[in-house]
Amino acid sequence: MILLSIAALAATVPVATDGEPVMAAVEVRGHYDNGVGTSSAASQGSVTAALIANRPALRPGELLEFVPGVIVTQHSGDGKANQYFLRGFNLDHGTDFATFVDGMPVNMRAHAHGQGYTDLNFLMPELVERINYKKGPYYADEGDFASAGAAHMGLANKLKENTASITVGEHQYYRANLTGSTPLGEGNLVYGAELGHNNGPWITPEAFHKSLGVLRYSQGGSDNQFSVTGMAYKGGWYASNQIPLRAVQSGEIGSYGAIDTSDGGITSRYSLSATLRRRGSDTLLQANAYLVQSSLDLYNDFTYFLDDPVHGDQSRQTEKRRMTGFDVAQTWFGKWGGLEVNNKVGLQGRYDYLSPLALYSTVKRRITGVITESKVKEANAAVYFENTVQWREWLRTTAGLRHDRYRFDVSSNIAENTGKVSDGVTSPKLALVLGPWARTEFFINYGEGFHSNDARGTTVHLTPKEREPIDPVTPLVKTRGAELGVRTEFVPGLQSSMALWKLRSASELVFSGDAGDTAASRGSYRSGIEWNNHYIAAPWLLFDLDLAYSRAHYTEHDAAGDFIPGAVGKVASFGATVTDLGPWSGAFQMRYFGPRPLIEDNSQRSATTAIAYARVGYRIDRRWAVSLDAFNLFDRKASDVDYYYASRLPGEPAEGVNDIHYHPVEPRTFRLTLKATF
């Protein structure tokens, strides 16, 4: 009904470009929209389709690496959500970083594998018009999972050209892609379809296959617009999960081998979404609504023969989900005593229904027992208010207040773990923008935020495996952050920003989907500095340099140590992009992912990973173009991700062996694309 209401309201409306109204002039710079006067924090910005199209990506999830400081890796098969890192966080599969596509939240609550699970395999990069990103809990319109940051990916309402492409590569990789747009009635119809396959370098072929399609209809432009979008995606794969270092060193398996070759998964996602933007003389209405149906069967074996020395420790995590929600905001533009003022009120809601949400013991994907099986209903509503005042030409403030209310309803096969819980949280926000002076402005930001814990963890009283007593987790975990920043365009062609930030979390309590129970942790404190630079050296040449350093530790001392496992400390990336140099184009991207503590006492640390991507493109004529992408250009032997924990191989002690478990980066690989424009 919400979707139909938006469509009906918009039927007479011819949404403009994404992003909030601002009081200063916006300067658009081709690949970026991060000019002075366009944001309320130094760490906020936008990336346009021009840059997205010109850089190679190994996986769709790497679109988030356009957000400065974000690292995207993989510890399993390509069909599984990526592993994300930002601002001293090992975000796992998405906790504490909120991602949206066409207004739809991608992070999954009460997920079978991990809270905040963010799988972007349903997305076609060719249809992404821009990425608006924010960092820190400073924004009233951002709620769950957004403490470290948020990214909003907008889809194109009209494409400049229709294209068909085929990409082939090593390890039986192929991708066939079709995108285009055509006038329909008073609007435009955008369409996209993709088929893909990849075996990867793994000894047991990954056999990842995916198919997806997109249809989007929109009307209007400028400040009045609406759209309706349908998306469909299916995928399946076998996975080489992280492997124990000792097994590789002994020669039992190779670096691209696996202990359990039947790990992997099957997933699907179908959605319908609608967006509306309507501008009046002194008002702006923005709204979106969505329906999503998704499923996942995920097979993992991380400890091999530790829990079950005979049959092994493989498990199946299963969920079938229906999700619906909306986001409506009204902004009023006016004056108070001669001062320019914006007042914004927003209402958001979301409902998730999962049945079943389960964890099974399996052998070679065959179910051998039920560990836990639940039906979950989770609902939340949020209201927020935001006030922006231009006090002087050099002083602007934005103050906000947000309240979220949650309801968890869990029915479990373990009676003691059935229950209902409610919780709420209020989050104030404040931003001060000073300047500009000499094309330079300064920012002061403060905000409180939160992330929700898995619904099952809020009602749990017995561990699913051992049936031992356990305390429920806190439903909503508070965070508090602050930031000082500066952004300048003093040097012609250069956009440079620096941010000094800190973030405190009341607790790192999480529900472990891998184990089916809660994993208690302490409160945490993170701080760091970021320096981001975008330089247009010539109309055809763009350079990027992003540096980030952070520190993370628990706030309560423990004899085990105070380091946070997986917390990223140093991140760097350098990029050079060449566009329209005659028929030639190209790109080079280098990323550095620094060492991380793997356990609390810091006695075990990950290695450094430095990987380069490159692309060379050539336009044959107006219709045909060809490009060659190289991934891991220098063929570095490194890890995508590392962990340290106990596992057991056949013949080892019953208590297992503590060891580093890692997932190697893929070796150097090339992919060739032929694209036709019509």
**CATH for 47:** 2.40.170.20
Query: 33-47, 240-254, 266-280, 449-463: which range is least confident on average?
Result: 33-47
* Torsion sign, CA atoms 552, 556, 562, 563: negative
Is residue 509 scored above 70 in pLDDT? no
Q: In angstroms, what CA-CA distances link 452 with 33, 147, 180, 401, 597?
A: 32, 11, 39, 18, 25
Q: Has residue 195 been placed in a domain?
A: no
> How far is the C-alpha of 441 from the C-alpha of 445, rounded, in Å?
13
Q: Is residue 296 part of a domain?
A: no
Residue 263 lies in a domain: no
CA distances from 116 to 76, 90, 317, 448 (A): 17, 12, 15, 19
| pTM of the predicted structure, to 2 decimals | 0.94
DSSP conformation class of 546? E
- Kindly report, residue by residue over 100-116, the tens digit of the pLDDT: 999 999 999 999 999 99
pLDDT, tens only, 280-298: 999 999 999 999 999 999 9
Nearest to 670 by CA among 629, 626, 634: 629
Q: Residue 473 carries which DSSP code?
A: P
- Would residue 553 count as lying in a domain? yes
Read off the pLDDT of residues 423-454 as tens digits, 9 standing for 90 and up: 999 999 999 999 999 999 999 999 999 999 99
Check: CB of residue 7 under 8 Å from CB of residue 226.
yes
Question: Strand 494-505 and strand 524-538: pairing?
Answer: antiparallel
- Is residue 125 included in any domain, yes or no? yes
In terms of C-beta density within 10 A (0-12 exposed, 13-18 middle, 19 or more buried), how is residue 339 classed?
Answer: exposed
pLDDT (0 to 100) of residue 515: 61
Q: Indicate if the pLDDT at residue 654 is higher than 50.
A: yes
Round to whole Å and give the CA distance between 305 and 434. Answer: 59
DSSP per-residue string spanning 179-213: EEEEEETTEEEEEEEEEEEE--S-SS---EEEEEE
Q: How many CB atoms lie within 10 A of CB 605?
A: 17
Q: Is the model's pLDDT at 30 over the cut of 90?
A: no
Other beta carbons within 10 angstroms of residue 50's beta carbon come to: 15
Per-chain mean pLDDT for the chain: 93
At residue 454, the pLDDT reads 94
Q: What per-residue confidence (pLDDT) applies to 18? A: 40
How many Cβ atoms sit within 10 Å of the Cβ of residue 634? Answer: 11
Main-chain dihedrals φ then ψ at residue 128, nearest 5 degrees? -80, 120
Which percentage of the chain shows pLDDT scores above 70? Answer: 93
Q: CB under 8 Å to 489, separation ≥6 — which residues?
A: 27, 35, 36, 439, 440, 495, 496
Q: Tell me the two tokens of residue 580.
A: 């329209």
With CA atoms as reference, report the closest residue to 231 among 249, 214, 254: 214
Rounded to an integer, what distance in angstroms lies between the CA atom of residue 490 and that of residue 442?
A: 13
- Assign 221 a pLDDT band (cuts: 50, 70, 90): confident
Do 620 and 645 form a contact (C-beta atoms < 8 A)?
A: no
Name the domain count of the chain: 1
Instruction: List the domain range (segments joined by +) for residue 596.
Output: 15-172+325-354+371-677
- pLDDT score recorded for residue 547: 98
Q: Residue 305 and residue 650: Cα distance in Å, rounded?
A: 7
Residue at 5 is within a domain: no
- Cβ pair 504, 479 in contact under 8 A: yes
Nearest to 213, CA basis, from 199, 225, 195: 195
pLDDT tens digits along 532-580: 999 999 999 999 999 999 999 999 999 999 999 999 999 999 999 999 8
Q: Please report, to the nearest 10 degrees, the dihedral formed by the alpha carbons of residues 278, 279, 285, 288 taken in order.
A: 30
Q: Is 300 inside a domain boundary? A: no
What pLDDT digit, counting tens, does each position of 326-369 carry?
999 999 999 999 999 999 999 999 999 999 999 999 999 999 99
Let me know if residue 347 belongs to a domain. yes
